[in-house]
Chains A and B, each alone.
Chain A
C-alpha cells in the first residue's frame, strides 16, 4: 500500500551477546543494588523483621502478654534469650510482636503522607501561580513547626491511639514529599515530551499521571526509604513521651520508655528494643544509600 521509497532501516550491530542496552529501568536498578553489600544487608534485615512481624505467633518463643511476677527481671538465659521485663514478660517475644506495630507505623503513615504530598506537590508544580503559592505556603507552615511538637499536639487533641498516631504522622509528613515532587514537576513540565502530550491534546490530569509522576519515581523511592525510619523513630519518641502507643500494645518505643527506669538493674529491658529500632533504621538507611547510588543518573537529570 505504501508505494513511496522506503527509507533504509538502521543496520543493527551484532547482538549475539546480551545487550545491556536492552535493560529496563528496574533491571538496571536491581543490578546496581545487588553490587552494594551494605544495601543487600539492609534489605535482608528489613526482610527478616518483616517476616518476623508477619509470623510472630510462630516465631515468638513465649506469650508476650503473659505476666509472671516471679520471673521479674530474669537475666538473659537459654529460656529467655533477652531476659524478662518488670512484669516477667519475655522481652524477645515482646520485641517480635512489637515489630508489628513499629513496622506498621513505619509504613502506613509514610505511605499516606507521601500520597498526600505527591498529589499536592504535582498539582502545585503543574499549575503554578496562585495554586502553587497556596499549597507551598501551607507546606512551609507545616515544615516550620517542629514535627514532633506538631504530632504531640495532634495526639493530645485526638487522644492516644494507634489510628491517631497514623493521622498525626501523616499530617506532619506530607510537606517534605510535596516540596520534592513540586520541584520535579517544575523541571519536568517544560520538557518536550510533556509539550508533546499537550500538543496531542492529552488532558492535564492524565499528563500528571502518565508523564510527570512516573518520572518522579527515583526521587520518591529515595524519600520512601528515608521517611520510613523517620516514622519509626517519631513513633518511638512519641511513645517515649507517653503520647504514642498505649499498653497492652507493645511498640518498641513504649518498651524503651517503660524500661528506662530500670536501666541499672535490668538494662536489657530498655536496650534490646532500642537495638531493634537501631537495626531497622540503619537497614533502611543502607538500603536508601544503595538506592540513591543506583538511581544516581536518574536523580541528576
Chain B
C-alpha cells in the first residue's frame, strides 16, 4: 500500500501528493519531478537529499508555483493548511509566498536587491503582508528579527547594503526575511552550501534554535548528508526525479535500505574515521542519467550492484517497510 504519512501521529502542515513537474524542451520531455509525494509534519525539519538533477529544488519551487516555462506542473496536489495550492489564484499564492511559506536560496547575493538596504527589503516583506502596520512598527520588528538571527548591531545593519555584508550575514538576513512574517513553513534550498564551514555551523545552529522558538516547519534541501544528519527529523532521498527511500533520520543512517542511499553513505569520507578502515572510498559506478534518456525500469539500475533482471524491465513501487520507512527497490519484494 502506498501509505504516505510519516508513520507518526502528528498533523501535517504540507502534503505533496503525486507531484509531476515536467519540462517540455525542444529536445524532449524532462520528467524533473516524477510522481513525488512528501509530507511535512508540523514543527518538523524534513530533509530532501539528492545530487544534481534529482529534482529536489524543482519540487520546492513547485510548492510555491515558481516554475516557469518550459516547466509545468502537470499532475498532483499540494495541500497546505487544507487548501490545494495548485487550485489557488495567483493573488492567493502571492499572499502565501513570503508570508506563510518562505524560501531561502543558496546564493543570498542574488536573492537580495543590491540597490536597496537590507533593512528596507525585509521591512517591505513585512509590510506587504501586514497592510495595517506602520513603517515605524515594521522597522522595529525588523530590528528585533535581526537581533534574533544573531546579526550584531542590528540598528546599524538596518541601513546597510547587501554587498557590504559577508556571506554569512547575508544568509542571516535571508533567514530574517523568511521568518519575519512568522512563516508556518520555511523552505531552505541548500542554505549553507555556499558558506564557509565555520559559518555553516553557525547558520545551522541558528536554524535549529529558531525553528524551535518560532515553531516553523522546515523543508531542508541539500546534497550534504552531514547536514541532513545534524538537522533533519525525517528524510526523503531523491534520484532522477523520483523518491528512492524515505525514513526518519536515524533509520536512514543506521539501516539504509536502498542501494543508492547505501552507496552514498559508504562513499563519503569522514572526519572521524576509524584507523582500521581501508583507505579506499567506496564508489558508485557510472553517472547520474540524462533525464532525456532514462533507462528502462529502475532509474538507478545501471549503477546498482544488486541489479537483477527485473530491475531493467519494470520500475519498482515505493514499498512500506514499517516504522515510516519506505523504499523503492525490488530487493525488498515481498
Contact = CB atoms under 8 A, between A and B. Distances in A.
Asked if chains A and B come from one complex, the reply is: yes
Interface of A: 7-8, 10-11, 13-15, 17, 19-21, 35
Contacts of A21: 290
Contacts of A15: 293
Interface string B264-301: 00000000000000000001011101101101100000
Contacts, number: 27
Contact of A13 (B27, B283, B285, B302): B302
Nearest 7 interchain pairs by C-beta = A11-B286, A13-B293, A8-B285, A20-B27, A11-B302, A13-B289, A10-B287
B141 interface: no
A8 B283 contact: yes
A109 B191 CA distance: 54
Nearest to B293: A13
B284 to A, nearest CB: 10
Interface residues of B, number: 14
Contacts of B293: 13-15, 17, 19
B214 to A, nearest CB: 39
8 contacts: A10-B287, A11-B286, A11-B287, A13-B302, A14-B296, A15-B293, A19-B290, A19-B293
B303 interface: yes
A35 B27 CA distance: 13
Contacts of A7: 283
Interface in B158-193: none
A11 B303 contact: yes
Nearest to A16: B293
B91 to A, nearest CB: 33
A138 to B, nearest CB: 34
Contacts of A10: 285-287
Contacts of B296: 14
A17 B290 CA distance: 13
A77 B119 CA distance: 76
Nearest to A8: B285
Nearest to B25: A20
A11 B285 CA distance: 7
Contacts of A13: 289-290, 293, 295, 302
A10 B302 CA distance: 10
